[in-house]
Amino acid sequence: MNLSFFDQFMSPSLLGIPLVLISMLFPTLLFPSPNNRWISNRYSTIQLWFLNLTTKQLLTPLNKKGHKWALILTSLMTFLLTINLLGLLPYTFTPTTQLSMNMALAFPLWLATLLTGLRNQPSASLGHLLPEGTPTPLIPALILIETTSLLIRPLALGVRLTANLTAGHLLIQLISTATTTLLPIMPMVSILTVIILLLLTILEVAVAMIQAYVFVLLLSLYLQENI
Amino acid sequence: LPRAVLLKDMKLMDVKLGQLPSWVAMRDFTPGGIAGAFRRGYDRYYNKYINVKKGGLGGISMVLAGYVVLSYIWSYSHIKHDRRRKYH
């Protein structure tokens, strides 16, 4: 019945052994450790170039204390990017479509930024709850609103990633089903749908990359406020 | 003229068919041995296809194609119900 549309998001298992761990560990095979040569192979060179690019981009706004977060932010970015892009291959499983995994990534990291801020500069962290220059009658309502927006951040981080990827995969499956069903009936409409499918696939590649970047960027922003 | 080597150190291609069961029995099946086997396989592939001066797209594409095939095999038992289904 209609259950098969969501079957692609079921956690894969072989004879009862969960395979999601292999899906999560597969990206480590794709990133060999760089060797100490002056000029290494093309693959390592491209990876190092990309890592330098993203690290500079993410860490320029942070102050010196924030540079301690460089490794976890960069590795998180690479992890999410690889997993999202690998999920676009046929028959593969994307662990980031599972809300449990995204919440497990978002919640502890957000909490870490919050606790860092509260521990090192408590009054400044609490001061972020009230934007400057608000009219006095609005202050109580605004504090409530800002607290709510603070507490909803981990939920937003996790759900944003899950929803974007799940929606993209579902759309691809739906449109491709429409294409194959229409092919014997109305070939011209089927060709139109194929064009839509191609454009959607390009969009999905872009979304996969952007969502990983947005996740890490927002975390670094929360860190900037608090460190 | 190849020197005489111990059976357990011979490479697989040099082992005679009759010696095959004893060769397999002599291999190292400890966790460290299995990890070593994976490491050797990885190094062989890496040094042949990726760690070269002018590596191309083929090295990584073979890995991704293998991953796709593996994912298909893992999900086959689930997908085979969709073969003759009228409405997906």
Record the pTM: 0.86
Among B60, B68, B85, select the one facing A89 at the smallest CB separation: B68
Phi and psi, residue A17, nearest 5°:
-90, 125
**pLDDT, mean of residues A18-39:** 87
Task: Give contacts of B54 with chain A, Cβ < 8 Å.
Answer: 42
Sequence spans of domains, chain B:
1-53, 56-87
Please give the pLDDT value at position A223: 83
Searching chain B, which residue's CA lies closest to the CA of residue A17?
Answer: B74
Please give the pLDDT value at position A104: 94
Task: Give contacts of B63 with chain A, Cβ < 8 Å.
Answer: 29-30
Closest CA to A27 of B70, B39, B67, B16: B67
What single-letter DSSP state applies at residue A96?
G
* Total domain count, chain A: 1
Non-local (6+) Cβ contacts of B61 within 8 A are: none
Which of the four pLDDT bands, split at 50, 70 and 90, describes residue A1?
very low
ipTM: 0.85
Please give the pLDDT value at position A107: 94
Token pair for residue A37? Answer: 């040569």
What single-letter DSSP state applies at residue A11?
P
CA A56 to the chain's CA centroid: 19
Token pair for residue A211? Answer: 């969502």
A50 pLDDT higher than 90: yes
Q: Distance between CA A192 and CA B71 in Å, rounded?
A: 30
Which of the four pLDDT bands, split at 50, 70 and 90, describes residue A16?
low
Searching chain B, which residue's CA lies closest to the CA of residue A26?
Answer: B67
Domain that holds residue A159: 19-226
Please give the pLDDT value at position A17: 67
Q: Strand locations in chain A, DSSP E?
A: 13-14, 17-18
Non-local (6+) Cβ contacts of A40 within 8 A are: A34, A48, B51
Please tell me the number of Cα atoms within 13 Å of B41 on its side-chain side: 8
Provide the percentage of residues in chain A whose pLDDT is more than 90: 35
Residue A167 in domain: yes
AA letter at B53 = K
Q: Distance between CA A201 and CA A172 in Å, rounded?
A: 7
Which of the four pLDDT bands, split at 50, 70 and 90, describes residue A207?
confident
Please give the pLDDT value at position B16: 79
Concatenating the DSSP letter of every residue in A153-165 gives HHHHHHHHHHHHH
Please give the pLDDT value at position A209: 85
Token pair for residue A203? Answer: 């969009």
Provide the percentage of residues in chain A whose pLDDT is more than 70: 97
Contact call for residues A91 and B80 (beta carbons, < 8 A): no
In this complex, is the C-beta atom of B59 within 8 Å of any C-beta atom belonging to chain A?
yes
AA letter at A98 = Q
Place of tokens 């990291």: A109
Residue A1 in domain: no
Q: What is the pLDDT of residues A82-121, one digit of tens each?
A: 999 999 998 888 999 999 999 999 999 999 999 999 998 9
Please give the pLDDT value at position A102: 93
**pLDDT, mean of residues A56-62:** 88
Per the prediction, chain A carries an average pLDDT of 88
Token pair for residue B41? Answer: 């396989």
pLDDT, greater one: B12 or A178: A178
Non-local (6+) Cβ contacts of A158 within 8 A are: A99, A102, A103, A105, A106, A107
Searching chain A, which residue's CA lies closest to the CA of residue B42?
Answer: A29
Residue A133 in domain: yes
A2 pLDDT higher than 70: no
Residue A86 class from Cβ within 10 Å (0-12 exposed, 13-18 middle, 19+ buried)?
Answer: buried
Please give the pLDDT value at position B63: 94
Please judge whether B71 and A41 are an interchain contact, meaning their C-beta atoms are less than 8 angstroms apart. Answer: no
Mutate to test the interface with B, among A1, A15, A91 (most CBs of B within 10 A): A91
What sign does the dihedral A97-A98-A101-A102 (CA atoms) show? positive
Q: What is the pLDDT of residues B2-61, one digit of tens each?
A: 667 777 677 777 777 887 888 788 887 888 888 988 898 899 999 888 888 888 899 899
